[in-house]
Structure 1
């Protein structure tokens, strides 16, 4: 569940960072190659991280990308509102997703335990 929730957040963040790159370009906070190229690179990294979530280090990469998004807030302070929302969603997906995964594992273990004696 944590992987699914994190993938959804990263997917929507990639869309948000596309528009953020356009805002940074439009406000001339960075030169065009840096604003558009950096925004495109970040969007690609966000999307490329989704299949890497099956590995533990994929989540750490996701946290690193959250830090990059916070750094973008220094260029356009109004992006902080969007960053806070998405980082909140990321934290929620990490906490609640892990909790649901633990509950599902405990339920599966309990079911396996109750089925094992009846088969013997």
Structure 2
């Protein structure tokens, strides 16, 4: 015997029916916001390796190497959520400078920091161009 479908089942007495959940529409994210968030996320993942290098080479005490590394990973991951706000983008620029400054602890981080700074600048510029193109396209189509 098959079970009746949910729509045809009688309602249980004593239990009020709930209205279906209404999903709030997601805010449209621009290209710049998305690209900068991705860059900060990649930096957070990348920071695991310098943390291991500073521990392995005993450049810093283990607690400082792991504490600072995990702290940097958390800050970068949280900062990736703030790129939609002007202050969040400025905080991202500050983090780029901080990553470059880690080169004073481990010299190879100057090169890694320069690569990520170049990626950050590219995403900042190109994301702004894409956002302007998309806004012009929406305006031409009359979407507001």
Asked if Structure 1 and Structure 2 have the same fold, meaning a TM-score greater than 0.5 normalized by the shorter chain, the answer is yes
Aligned pair count?
A: 114
The answer to whether the Cα contact below 8 Å between 2:101 and 2:110 also exists between their aligned partners in 1 is: no
In angstroms, what is the RMSD of aligned CA positions?
1.5
- Structure 1 gap segments, 5+ residues each: none
**Any stretches of 5+ residues in structure 2 without a counterpart?**
1-30
Q: Which residue of 2 aligns with 1:60?
A: 90
Q: Determine which structure has more spread, i.e. the larger CA radius of gyration.
A: 2
- Offset at 1:4? 1.0
Cα distance in 1, alignment partners of residues 120 and 56 from structure 2: 27
What TM-score results when the alignment is normalised by the length of structure 1?
0.89
Q: State which drifts further: 29-38 or 88-97.
A: 29-38
Task: Give the deviation of 1:52 after TM superposition.
Answer: 1.1
Q: Which has the higher contact order (CA 8 A, sep 6+)?
A: 1
Bigger fraction of residues in helix: 1
Question: Where has structure 1 moved over 6 Å in runs of 4 or more?
Answer: none
Give the aligned partner of residue 79 of structure 2. 49
d(CA) in 1 for partners of 2:36 and 2:62? 30
SS at 2:130 equivalent: helix
Q: In the TM superposition, what whole-angstrom CA distance separates every residue of 1:1-60 from its partner, at most 9, and x where no partner exists? A: 011111111111011111111111111111111111011001001000111112111111
TM-score normalised according to structure 2 size: 0.75
